[in-house]
Structure 1
């Protein structure tokens, strides 16, 4: 695997792409595309992934960070989705400790409320049976007051606790892409697919444009996999029916001290009886999510609305009234667009009632994945590759090997066991290279976050950073975790990163201004807020 996976390498490799006929080209650099690429590369396919923006730019960096089985899908009768999800959740917990971590979830119960302890306990018994292990327990009101200080106490009868998992979704994408690259895959961002190339009714390649330097290319392949999430319909034939229903989910991030929670809380919002979550993540507290039709331009980053902000603040007031959380407490926000597949009639119903099942759309030479969940990216990828193998006339078997290679065993002086686990989970087989940078610059963290300065240096040298927001919003999450997107740290970040990125002063200033505008528009508070 090329250690220097960066803009200089990208400039060298781009002109050579058209000289090859690829077995597989994957369009889309989110978790779905990364998963497809990883499974193809491990089987020896000559494969290329193209992402028009940045890896995990869309939904895969703006999810609710949960790797879960989808408890509510049991009530909807979606047994296969729940079964696959709980199995994949456990697989990820086993294979990627430090990146995917177990989290205790608590649902408080109140007199006259739904679901009560018995109903939820019954659902969780099925949930546990599908997972193959029991993980839920009921706590009475007295126990819950000790476990969850500050929770609303009026009519409280207790709470049910169960276990799911959390992740850093953008780092999960990067780790999967790292595994694919180690098996020979070529991975590029900033390359837009303009159209599919068809001949005699079959897709044989793509027309692309380099979004950074300009210039078209035509690339040939045996088969194409489209995994572009909410954008999946754009490359389909004009006569194909429109089936996607883009749904927006928005989140608030609060300083951990402002609403301290030691576990995740899930409860039904008083306004619409939708589940809302409040949970600890990266030393801060997340409140989310909304679920409504996204009618804005998909080519622009999604942003939280004033109504969504009010909805999530009301959720905080409902469940933690003494905290008196307000808009002035919000560190940052993010909004993602879910690629939900719906029917014509379903588009008239509540967004939260839509299924999260995925579907495959096929035409000769091309397989498109629509819908699906982060947790089940691996079985979705297998399904796509089976369809691709059929088109290539290849035999395909799924032996379910590990998604992630074992992390190299090494000692990094100055790091606690918890820090080592975190870095091993996020960087995997790249840990030795990161360890060298830690040895050179020390194990200091940026502000009060868990992110090391060395992680910024590593991202600039070897994680294909093309823009400042790639670095601060996806390779690291500093843009979400630090006040005003980390503006107070810009001088130190510039000193460390500008030489490694090869940007002159004018380029740095341009990127810094671009980032400020982007952050305020898409990660700050909505303009309508007084």
Structure 2
């Protein structure tokens, strides 16, 4: 079998791999991205869904990381205003935890480290009078409110992959790299599709390992290489419950152990609560939230709020493994969220391993990763992603509300909730889903909620969706809005369509 020659072969379809593939393809390099499962199926769809500077990292003196993340926060807000939007966080002050002066100092630094432009700054709250204090226990009288951003994490990954493909990259999902060997100054890489068994062979001038929790496995088992660096696996779990307060603000509370817990509005009528930080020794593929973690999160919330959550309030839970760069810190919460590159140029075939990182800094990580490869690709293009919107983010002045209003004017037959659903997930690409439809009937089969066949067709055609789970859980969050029978109906229908197509 003849091998296709490429410049860059990227292993790992999470946020870092998709970001690097996009950046490299936009510089004119010939790129292949392979992922062993679905895009964002691992850590990158199991985050707290925030683009943030990391307020708590200030306690560990990570000033550079916080500053860079705060700068990137506004870059990403401009690039993808449909899937990233501002959110205000209420931090009730507990005298038993961090002193008020320390919290004020941290928030002052948070407001000023990153050159904040769009987002409003911190303000103090009188929780006995301000409406944000209504759901809180009466003992919490003082508080603060600050800004960060929400993000649809899985869609962020997919949109980077879409952008990479539009710039010429080949994206292979469910196609792990089974072997990668240095031969004659280049990498010989073989992938095997897990569903069809089809193998593909490539020759690559450079291999980039963005496998996240599996980064060490790729170094040793797949590439037959080694590295003095390593990742430390830390498990983070979240729970989803019905939303139990009014208003669009989120809450950030401090637990007895000094860990902070986010309580964020989620999907309109629900709340996302997390996260835990636990050293993890098992297989990354097997991670799930255990009962002790769920109880921990419920207790943290109940310490602050009048309405007490019970185990039966938990609608769903999920857990992810964060591949943090192992800096030797004992406390999982103290392990750096920064990233580290390890460039191995032995044998004349470079291998760039990526350790650590966080969603907020993925674009900068990709850019700096390409800087590390400048001497390998001296003729590649320059930096370009800073001011370039992601697919769907091509909205004038990055003003989502004006865009949504224009969308409603263009499609007056669509219910407001459906316009909001399409606008928030697909932004300016919404028209690619709707096509020439002039009524709800034109969107095809209705599966329940805001879920129509036209969206399914788009996700299969444009976003590598191959299973019902790809669509219900990652490309969208329809699973949270459909009944069990509606979900089962869609799964059966999709399976029948796939069989027919095969």
Normalising by structure 1, what TM-score? 0.83
Whole-angstrom CA distance in 2 between matches of 1:451 and 1:123: 43
Structure 1 CA distance for aligned equivalents of residues 160 and 132 of structure 2: 36
Please list every run of 5 or more consecutive structure 1 residues that lacks an aligned counterpart in the other structure: 1-14, 508-530
Residue matched to 2:487: 490
Name 2:114's counterpart in structure 1: 131
* Counterpart position of 2:151: 167
Q: Which residue of 1 aligns with 2:400?
A: none
Q: CA deviation at 1:98?
A: 2.2
Contact 1:26–1:49, Cα closer than 8 Å, also in 2: yes
**Contact preservation (8 Å) 1:254, 1:332:** yes
1:62-461 equivalences under 5 Å are: 62-116=46-100, 118-133=101-116, 135-144=121-130, 146-154=131-139, 156-199=140-183, 203-236=186-219, 237=224, 239-241=226-228, 243-256=230-243, 258=244, 262-270=248-256, 272-283=257-268, 284-300=270-286, 302-320=287-305, 322-343=306-327, 345-346=328-329, 349-364=330-345, 365-394=350-379, 397-399=382-384, 400-404=386-390, 407=394, 411-415=410-414, 420=419, 423-428=422-427, 430-436=429-435, 439=438, 441-442=440-441, 447=448, 454-461=454-461
Aligned CA-pair RMSD: 2.7
Aligned-partner SS, 2:155: helix
- Report the TM-score, using the length of structure 2 for normalisation: 0.87
Which runs of no fewer than 5 residues in structure 2 stay unpaired?
A: 396-402
Distance in 1, Cα, partners of 2:484 & 2:107: 44
Instruction: Find the aligned partners of 1:39 and 1:299 in 2 and give their Cα distance.
Output: 28
Shift of residue 456 of structure 1? 3.1
Query: Aligned pair in 2 of structure 1 residues 452, 128: CA closer, same or farther (>3 Å)?
Result: farther
Tell me the CA shift for residue 459 of structure 1: 1.8
Q: 1:452 to 1:88 in 2, by over 3 A?
A: farther
Instruction: Say which SS state the counterpart of residue 323 (structure 2) adopts.
Output: strand
Cα deviation for residue 337 of structure 1 reads 0.7
Residue 476 of structure 1 deviates from its aligned partner by: 1.4
The aligned runs of 1:495-510 (5 Å cut-off) are 497-498=494-495, 501-503=497-499
The question of whether the paired residues in 1 share the 8 Å contact of 2:135 and 2:245 is answered with no
Cα separation, partners in 2 of 1:404 and 1:462, compared to 1, 3 Å: closer
Secondary structure of the corresponding residue to residue 142 of structure 1? coil
Q: Could you tell me how far apart the structure 1 residues matched to 2:266 and 2:199 are?
A: 41
2:107 and 2:418 mapped to 1: Cα distance? 33
**1:111 Cα deviation (Å)?**
3.6
Q: Measure, in 2, the Cα distance between the counterparts of 1:242 and 1:438.
A: 54
Distance apart, 1:20 and its partner CA: 2.1
Following superposition, the deviation at residue 87 of structure 1 comes to 1.2
More divergent stretch after superposition (211-220 vs 412-421): 412-421
Q: 1:339 to 1:397 in 2, by over 3 A?
A: same
Partners of 1:191 and 1:110 lie apart in 2 by 49
Tell me the matched-pair count.
474
| CA shift digits 1:212-264 (9 cap, x unpaired) | 111433211111111111111112255433521110100000123x5556311
**CA shift in 2, pair 1:141/1:440, >3 Å:** closer
* Whole-Å separation in 1 of the counterparts to 2:436 and 2:357: 37
Q: Quick check: 1:96–1:425 contact (8 Å CA) kept in 2?
A: no
Give yes or no for contact 1:172–1:426 (8 Å, CA) kept in 2.
no
Counterpart secondary structure, 1:392: coil
CA distance in 2, matches of 1:177, 1:488: 32
